[in-house]
Chain A
Amino acid sequence: MTTSPKLDAKIPDGQLEQKWTKYRSTVPLVNPANKRNLEIIIVGSGLAGASAAASLAELGYKVKVFCFQDSARRAHSIAAQGGINAAKNYQNDGDSTYRLFYDTIKGGDYRAREANVYRLAEVSANIIDQCVAQGVPFAREYGGMLDNRSFGGTQVKRTFYAAGQTGQQLLLGAYSALQRQVGLGQVEMLTRHEMLDIVNIDGKCRGIIARDAVTGKLERHFGHAVLLCSGGYGNVFFLSTNAMGSNVTAAWKAHKKGAFFGNPCFTQIHPTCIPVSGDHQSKLTLMSESLRNDGRIWVPKRKEDAEAIRTGKLNPNDLKEEDRDYYLERRYPAFGNLVPRDVASRAAKERCDAGFGVNRTGEAVYLDFAFNMKYKYGKKEATKKGIQNPTEEQLTELGKAVVKEQYGNLFDMYQQITGVNPYENPMMIYPAVHYTMGGLWVDYNLMTTVPGLYALGEANFSDHGANRLGASALMQGLADGYFVIPYTIGAYLSNEIRTKAIDTNHEAFEAAEKSVRERLEKLKNINGTKTVDYFHKRLGKIMWDQCGMARNEQGLKQAIADIQALRADFWKDVRVPGGLNEFNPELEKAGRVADFLELGELMCRDALNRNESCGGHFREEFQTEEGEALRDDENFGYVAAWEMTGDANWELHREDLKYENIKIAQRSYK
């Protein structure tokens, strides 16, 4: 197995610990006078985009930022709940850069690049400093110092947080920094603009075509470099925890213009989401991972009981303890309910597929707080208050108060969405698509295979390998934007100081705009009989059934055929109302779904190619006797980077992953 000659990761030589420091000190620089003449386009204004835009503008580059929302502050980074990891070792519990690096590689099931992950761990501490200086109000202890919590897959407390709204606070910090540069005239912010193509000239990315969503006008924008910070593509599944507008379009257009797509099949399914309640459902809502600390996950032991619960004949509270199957505790006694996300998700699916699911759709399991409410917290409180021989009711009441204090807002949200009181009844949860580890392949500089085109944050194939640990997405997005790209972009731009701004009347811009216009007109003129959502829901179902938590060869092949047929039908029969030159959300949606219909096929092809199970990618053919994921490091210890060679035609390139500082081992949680 050797790395494809088309993939040069440009990893600096030297000791792992020295690579970044040394590289950072030797990477070519652009002098301040030249920076003023260099234009950088940034697509997306989430953690990666906003932090990159602010940092680059501070350095003196001329920056243009595009986002499809009405404000940079709406980017979906805002919805991240839990926290952000950083190797600060404030808790004196033995954390270090190496340990964060190690946990991330292991958590990613050994499918991430050592050098990138080490750099991520290194800059993680700077992120916290930067954010605090910006006024991000992280949670603090009474002494005034920063507080930490622990998260899955680690043995130290290194997660910084701001209640359950860490993503919001970090994004608002980056957004403030960005808006400051807007006020200073260093950044031009174009909201309600969607990038619809990149423009390559002489083999380099030189700009984008964007559509003004309010007027419908197509615009040409030149840049010496283009940064895609457009997030993940979980919405290919229709239902996910992503925002409604989250899409793959920017990354996909880049892919079609030469950027390789890395590990598209690596998707993270989060185990604790509120289950689907009906086919009207438009999105899924996450319930924080922290709930698994006190909630016990179970389904009935007997199918008859599950059936009775589904039809409403049996109240789960009445089911006897011995008739319940706490399957995570049964299967993974060492980690119990706190196994990593991929493992927990698969186990829930296994039980529901076997007929033990509990809500009307049969696709839900219980997350039950009654036991810990009573015996963990209730007893403790009773002891504290000196109550001798408390009754069961007393214990429940005492415990409820504690649970309310810890998880009150989550419980309220659950009740708001489901109409069920989670203090009285066990919560119902089911896994849902949450994050995509795959994305545009980038080298150590975060540059894609197209010179001058970069991908940051969730949009790149990232440092998370095949599975991302909790509280690491925020860390990566901000690391890329604040502390990586400002240095690494110099490697490219230092050679561009003689490039004058290219007139957007250049034929390449002309051609790109024409093809964008034609595609929009084509979408509009089909004037078929089915709505965009109809196709999106169908695609989502195919992806979820065949390329979701568990995949197999036959299903993936079927999915590829089904997606091809659905795509053909889409281009024959979709109906897009309204005009091109007006505010037209359906038109925007149609373009995004058209791209998802192509991406879905590539994801299935990638999943089909990867004949192993690792992290979020579980191939049913490749599992241990106990039903655990079976990795094949010898044959699949690589990044799969797909090059689009024609319409729905791809060529696979491999980047061999070398582990020189970590010993590869099988993950076990038993």
Chain B
Amino acid sequence: MSGNMNLTLKVWRQKNKDDRGKFETYPVQHISPDMSFLEMFDVLNERLINEGKDPVAFDHDCREGICGMCSMFINGRPHGPLQGVTTCQLHMRSFKNGDTIVVEPWRASAFPVIKDLAVDRSAFDRIISAGGFISVNTGNAQDANSIPIPKDDADAAFAAATCIGCGACVAACKNASAMLFVSAKVSQFALLPQGQAERQERVLNMVAQMDAEGFGSCTNTGACEAECPKGISLSNIARMNRDYIGAQLSVQKA
């Protein structure tokens, strides 16, 4: 079953990280409004392969908005025109027949392009390795109900923890800053009693790693929060700033 939408795609093509890259224009026909944006790319790729051309490389996996792998910058916005939605959950009914759609990769020096629309986001993993955890070895734990956690704190920690690590915050930010991502993890643990033991070390180490990766600094434009598919709040960034400054001023080390 095919649909009736005809669109023009302008897609960034780049063979590898050293290639300069350029836009290619592809008309796509008979697109159904029920297709997801990535399914439209499946259709395009199927055609490119049949024509003997190289299909467009893009990251994707779960296609239900939770794994955080899909990462397209669509018409000037990460994950496209809708709010609170990842690219895989964006459907073609959000576009009009005849539209031209410009698709680019996430752009940041910390996210080098691997190929076409796929970028390397391992910087995020390194930031987590620097401190995005509670140091508790398997078997160390006490009974789960031994520390009551006020529901509001648990809910706030959960809200921060829903970050899917897609990098839309970095992509949206004019400074390519990763503050929303980092602060979401810092906040999750800062809000929970289990996270207190390493609270200062954590924020210091994670911020240091974030800076080492070459992300820009936060100028509080709020673009990250507006584009975050999971609605992670800017208040997390404030909390991280507070914790960072407090930790620098008070940590018991020379």
| Contact surface of A with B, Cβ cutoff 8 Å | 51, 54-55, 58, 69-76, 78-79, 88, 90, 126, 128-146, 162-163, 165, 168-169, 172, 175-177, 179-180, 182-183, 189, 191, 214, 241, 243-245, 277-283, 285-286, 360, 413, 416-419, 482-483, 486, 529, 531, 533, 575, 577-578, 582-586
Residues of A within 8 A of B164 (CB): 78, 168
| 9 residue pairs A–B, Cβ–Cβ below 8 Å | A69-B67, A135-B189, A137-B158, A138-B144, A145-B148, A182-B125, A283-B63, A483-B139, A577-B54
- What separation, in Å, do the CA atoms of A245 and B52 have in the docked complex? 23
Residues of A within 8 A of B57 (CB): 583-585
Whether A179 lies near B128 (C-beta < 8 A) is yes
- What separation, in Å, do the CA atoms of A130 and B147 have in the docked complex? 13
**Inter-chain pairs besides A55-B137, A132-B147, A180-B133, 14 sampled, C-beta below 8 Å:** A73-B125, A74-B67, A76-B61, A135-B133, A135-B194, A136-B161, A145-B145, A146-B144, A168-B162, A176-B132, A191-B125, A416-B91, A417-B89, A419-B93
Residues of B within 8 A of A241 (CB): 64
| CB 8 Å contact bits of B1-45 with A (1 = contact, 0 = none) | 111000000000001100000000000000011111011001101
Whether A281 lies near B39 (C-beta < 8 A) is yes
- Give which listed residue, B39, B142, B165, contacts A73 with CB less than 8 A: B165
- Given A132-B144, A137-B188, A577-B52, the answer on whether A70 and B122 have CB atoms closer than 8 Å is yes
- What separation, in Å, do the CA atoms of A168 and B144 have in the docked complex? 19
B140 beta carbon closer than 8 Å to chain A: yes
- Given A140-B149, A182-B125, the answer on whether A243 and B55 have CB atoms closer than 8 Å is no
Whether A282 lies near B49 (C-beta < 8 A) is no
Whether A280 lies near B162 (C-beta < 8 A) is no
Residues of A within 8 A of B121 (CB): 70-71
Whether B125 lies near A282 (C-beta < 8 A) is no
Residues of B within 8 A of A90 (CB): 145
- What separation, in Å, do the CA atoms of A562 and B38 have in the docked complex? 30
- Give which listed residue, A189, A243, A279, A282, contacts B36 with CB less than 8 A: A282
Q: Give the contact stretch, choosing among B73-81, B112-120, B219-227.
A: B112-120
B247 to chain A, nearest CB (A): 18
- Given A54-B138, A282-B42, the answer on whether A163 and B49 have CB atoms closer than 8 Å is no
B61 to chain A, nearest CB (A): 4
- Give which listed residue, B54, B62, B135, B161, contacts A79 with CB less than 8 A: B62
B69 beta carbon closer than 8 Å to chain A: yes
Whether A130 lies near B62 (C-beta < 8 A) is no
**Which of B38, B65, B134, B155 neighbours the largest number of chain A CB atoms within 10 Å of its CB?**
B134
Q: Which 7 A-B pairs have the closest CB atoms?
A: A144-B148, A183-B129, A133-B141, A176-B133, A278-B1, A137-B158, A129-B141
- What separation, in Å, do the CA atoms of A179 and B130 have in the docked complex? 8
B208 to chain A, nearest CB (A): 12
- What separation, in Å, do the CA atoms of A279 and B151 have in the docked complex? 45
B172 beta carbon closer than 8 Å to chain A: no
- Give which listed residue, B125, B138, B192, contacts A137 with CB less than 8 A: B192
B50 beta carbon closer than 8 Å to chain A: yes
Of all chain B residues, which has the CB nearest A77? Answer: B67
Residues of A within 8 A of B16 (CB): 582-583
- What separation, in Å, do the CA atoms of A405 and B91 have in the docked complex? 25
- Give which listed residue, B1, B46, B53, contacts A531 with CB less than 8 A: B46
- What separation, in Å, do the CA atoms of A360 and B3 have in the docked complex? 14
B244 beta carbon closer than 8 Å to chain A: no
Whether B195 lies near A418 (C-beta < 8 A) is no
B85 to chain A, nearest CB (A): 7
- What separation, in Å, do the CA atoms of A75 and B62 have in the docked complex? 9
A353 to chain B, nearest CB (A): 21
| Interface residue total, chain B, C-beta cutoff 8 A | 83
Whether A69 lies near B140 (C-beta < 8 A) is no
A663 to chain B, nearest CB (A): 33
Whether B91 lies near A177 (C-beta < 8 A) is no
- Give which listed residue, A70, A134, A163, A583, contacts B158 with CB less than 8 A: A163
Whether B61 lies near A280 (C-beta < 8 A) is no
Of all chain A residues, which has the CB nearest B47? Answer: A531
- What separation, in Å, do the CA atoms of A416 and B132 have in the docked complex? 32
B136 beta carbon closer than 8 Å to chain A: yes
- Given A69-B69, A162-B158, A182-B125, the answer on whether A140 and B49 have CB atoms closer than 8 Å is no
Residues of B within 8 A of A280 (CB): 1-2, 32, 34-35, 39, 42-43
B207 to chain A, nearest CB (A): 15
**Which of A128, A172, A486 neighbours the largest number of chain B CB atoms within 10 Å of its CB?**
A172
A440 to chain B, nearest CB (A): 23
B60 to chain A, nearest CB (A): 6
Whether A244 lies near B60 (C-beta < 8 A) is yes
Residues of B within 8 A of A143 (CB): 148
Whether B34 lies near A418 (C-beta < 8 A) is yes
Whether A278 lies near B162 (C-beta < 8 A) is no
B215 beta carbon closer than 8 Å to chain A: no
B201 beta carbon closer than 8 Å to chain A: no
Whether B61 lies near A74 (C-beta < 8 A) is yes
Residues of A within 8 A of B143 (CB): 129
Whether A486 lies near B138 (C-beta < 8 A) is yes
B38 to chain A, nearest CB (A): 7
- What separation, in Å, do the CA atoms of A621 and B195 have in the docked complex? 57
Residues of A within 8 A of B52 (CB): 577
A501 to chain B, nearest CB (A): 25
**Which of B3, B125, B134 neighbours the largest number of chain A CB atoms within 10 Å of its CB?**
B125
Whether B118 lies near A285 (C-beta < 8 A) is no
- What separation, in Å, do the CA atoms of A244 and B45 have in the docked complex? 15
Whether A279 lies near B136 (C-beta < 8 A) is no
Residues of B within 8 A of A136 (CB): 161
- What separation, in Å, do the CA atoms of A578 and B122 have in the docked complex? 25
B194 to chain A, nearest CB (A): 5
- What separation, in Å, do the CA atoms of A132 and B128 have in the docked complex? 18
Whether A243 lies near B63 (C-beta < 8 A) is yes
Of all chain A residues, which has the CB nearest B64? Answer: A285
Whether B161 lies near A142 (C-beta < 8 A) is no
- What separation, in Å, do the CA atoms of A131 and B144 have in the docked complex? 8
Residues of A within 8 A of B213 (CB): none
B101 beta carbon closer than 8 Å to chain A: no
B140 to chain A, nearest CB (A): 7
B68 beta carbon closer than 8 Å to chain A: yes
A457 to chain B, nearest CB (A): 16
B249 to chain A, nearest CB (A): 25
B66 beta carbon closer than 8 Å to chain A: yes
- What separation, in Å, do the CA atoms of A346 and B85 have in the docked complex? 33
- Give which listed residue, B54, B67, B137, contacts A578 with CB less than 8 A: B54
Residues of A within 8 A of B15 (CB): 582
Whether B136 lies near A214 (C-beta < 8 A) is no
- Give which listed residue, A145, A282, A418, contacts B63 with CB less than 8 A: A282
Whether A134 lies near B151 (C-beta < 8 A) is no
Whether B38 lies near A277 (C-beta < 8 A) is no
B218 beta carbon closer than 8 Å to chain A: no
- Give which listed residue, A79, A418, A483, contacts B67 with CB less than 8 A: A79
